């Protein structure tokens, strides 16, 4: 991203000089394993990416906050002396939700001009929304000296998405965007928020992200539906065992209690969460012991569970994974993110990456008529001020 060009765009948009413009960045994320476990109190293993959302900010000596982005034509503003209202499905809801949470915690901002610019593919499931929320929260905290630590900003941004935007997400996306460190993944217990930065020692391997380029129109509504199904399963199991989350159970305990869940679909949803939690623990152990091949096998099992028990994949994601597994150099491949489109993540031997991109892309296009985009992932830092 060319910061000087962004500054020129900012000055062209808002006029005046650019001497007092501040620049911030928060990344997108990819989750290596541990999907749909975060809002069930389980374990996840994401890492921050080198691409994300840039934010240029300047105080404007007014009571207005102006929003613009280089990614869409739509712009907007809010008056700090009035209540904030949700604006349909606009991207502006994400930063406005963050400002609303600051306001609720008696942290008052002043009028500012904001220009966002993201290089995360829209709708790819790589957490462009969380990166917008986190870069807004981080920038306001820095600019106005609120003194909140990163974890407080993570929780604030999650609340913004839950309460203002209306997506009942867990904490993983905001956490990864804020807390990432280059060349490390984050092993997070979403119940306690205890975490460990784990070096990604993938010698001779690459992380390859493949974007289905299918619009994820059902993702938000189905996401909320899956969460409700999990909560219903918890209530059913509580008739015999006092648990707070599905992740309080291991698979043996679940098998002994699953008869308490009367709905067969909800039983499948719960089975995925609990088995995925166990896979994530096994994956961390495998990575720490250098057993990369076994880590890849667990990624494969994760996708199969998301396909068969959680039913959040769809033909496009399944096709990408099927094509990826045909390549000799692929150790493991799975969907990542909420599902219903978006991306897959694969661990591929370095000398097979070119073949992977060519052959997987060809097979995917032949079977779906869509053209996939591929990214060889670089693992980057979390939220930061650039200038």
Cα–Cα separations (whole angstroms), residue 198 to 45, 206, 264? 9, 16, 37
Cα–Cα separations (whole angstroms), residue 223 to 158, 213, 229, 265? 15, 19, 10, 15
**Which contacts (CB < 8 Å, 24+ apart) does range 85-92 have?**
86/164, 86/165, 86/166, 91/132, 92/67
- Residue of 34, 46, 280, 284 lying closest to 176 (CA atoms): 46
What pLDDT is stored for residue 224 in this prediction? 86
Lookup: tokens for 93: 């809801």
DSSP state of 100: H
Lookup: tokens for 82: 């009035």
Segment 209-267, tens digit of pLDDT: 999 998 765 556 788 899 999 999 999 999 999 999 999 999 999 999 999 999 999 99
Q: How confident is the model at residue 1 (pLDDT cuts 50, 70, 90)?
A: confident
Catalytic, 248? Answer no
Q: What percent of the chain has pLDDT over 70?
A: 97
Q: Is the per-residue pLDDT at 298 higher than 60?
A: yes
What pLDDT is stored for residue 81 in this prediction? 95
Please state, rounded to an integer, the average pLDDT across all residues of the chain. Answer: 94
Residue 43, C-beta contacts closer than 8 angstroms, at least 6 positions apart? 34, 37, 187, 188, 189, 190, 247, 277, 280, 281, 284
Element of type H or E holding 198: strand 195-199
* Residue 121 or residue 211, greater confidence: 211
pLDDT, mean of residues 70-99: 94
Distance CA 121, CA 109 (A): 30
What pLDDT is stored for residue 18 in this prediction? 60
Q: How confident is the model at residue 379 (pLDDT cuts 50, 70, 90)?
A: very high
**Which contacts (CB < 8 Å, 24+ apart) does range 364-372 have?**
364/210, 364/212, 364/316, 364/319, 364/320, 364/323, 367/319, 367/323, 368/212, 368/315, 368/316, 368/319, 370/212, 370/213, 370/214, 370/316, 371/213, 372/210, 372/211, 372/212, 372/213, 372/320
| pTM of model > 0.85 | yes
Segment 155-208, tens digit of pLDDT: 999 999 999 998 888 899 999 999 999 999 999 999 999 999 999 888 899 999
pLDDT, mean of residues 301-316: 97
Q: Which of 2-16, 117-131, 352-366 has the lowest mean pLDDT?
A: 117-131
Q: Is the per-residue pLDDT at 19 higher than 90?
A: no
Q: Which of 16-20, 239-243, 342-346 has the lowest mean pLDDT?
A: 16-20
- Residue of 183, 172, 164 lying closest to 36 (CA atoms): 172
What are the percentages of helix, strand and coil residues in the chain, rounded to 5?
45, 20, 35
Domains belonging to the chain, first-starting first, are 3-199+381-385 (3.30.230.10), 205-376 (3.30.70.890)
What residues form DSSP beta bridges with 112?
59, 65
Q: How confident is the model at residue 307 (pLDDT cuts 50, 70, 90)?
A: very high
Q: Is the per-residue pLDDT at 306 higher than 80?
A: yes
What pLDDT is stored for residue 89 in this prediction? 85
Residue tagged active-site, from 19, 38, 119, 173: 173
Q: Is the per-residue pLDDT at 2 higher than 70?
A: yes
What pLDDT is stored for residue 197 in this prediction? 95
What SS3 class is residue 125?
coil
pLDDT, mean of residues 16-36: 91
Cα–Cα separations (whole angstroms), residue 108 to 102, 260, 327, 341? 7, 48, 54, 38
Residue 175, C-beta contacts closer than 8 angstroms, at least 6 positions apart? 46, 154, 186, 188, 193, 195
What pLDDT is stored for residue 121 in this prediction? 76
């Amino acid at each position: 991203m060319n910061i000087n060009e962004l500054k020129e765009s900012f000055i062209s948009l808002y006029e005046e000089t650019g001497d007092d413009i501040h620049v911030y960045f928060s990344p997108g994320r990819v989750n290596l394993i541990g999907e749909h476990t975060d809002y069930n109190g389980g374990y996840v293993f994401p890492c921050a990416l080198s691409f994300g959302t840039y934010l240029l900010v300047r105080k404007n000596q007014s009571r207005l906050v102006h929003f613009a982005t280089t990614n869409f034509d739509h712009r907007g503003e809010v008056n700090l002396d009035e209540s904030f209202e949700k604006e349909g499905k606009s991207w502006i809801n994400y930063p406005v939700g963050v400002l609303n949470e600051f306001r609720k915690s008696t942290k008052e901002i002043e009028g500012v001009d904001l220009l966002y610019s993201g290089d995360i593919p829209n709708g790819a499931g790589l957490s462009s929304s969380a990166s917008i929320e986190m870069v807004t929260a981080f920038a306001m905290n820095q600019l106005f000296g609120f003194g909140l630590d990163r974890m407080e900003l993570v929780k604030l941004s999650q609340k913004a998405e839950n309460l203002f935007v209306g997506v009942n997400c867990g904490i993983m996306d905001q956490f990864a965007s804020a807390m990432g460190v280059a060349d490390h993944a984050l092993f997070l217990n979403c119940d306690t928020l205890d975490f460990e930065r784990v070096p990604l020692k993938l010698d001779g391997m690459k992380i390859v992200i493949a974007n289905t380029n299918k619009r994820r129109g059902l993702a938000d509504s189905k996401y909320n539906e899956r969460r409700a199904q999990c909560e219903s399963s918890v209530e059913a199991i509580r008739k015999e065992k006092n648990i707070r989350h599905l992740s309080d159970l291991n698979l043996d305990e679940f098998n002994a209690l699953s008869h308490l869940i009367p709905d067969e679909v909800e039983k499948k949803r719960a089975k995925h969460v609990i088995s995925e939690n166990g896979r994530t623990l096994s994956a961390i152990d495998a990575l720490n012991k250098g057993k990369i091949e076994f880590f890849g096998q667990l990624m494969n099992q994760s996708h199969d569970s998301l396909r068969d028990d959680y039913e959040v994949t769809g033909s496009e994601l399944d096709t990408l994974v099927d094509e990826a597994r045909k390549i000799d150099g692929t150790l493991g491949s799975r969907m990542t993110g909420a599902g219903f489109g978006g991306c897959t993540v694969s661990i591929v031997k370095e000398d097979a990456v070119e073949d992977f991109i060519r052959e997987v892309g060809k097979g995917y296009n032949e079977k779906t008529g869509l053209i996939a985009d591929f990214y060889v992932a670089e693992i980057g830092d979390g939220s930061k001020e650039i200038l």
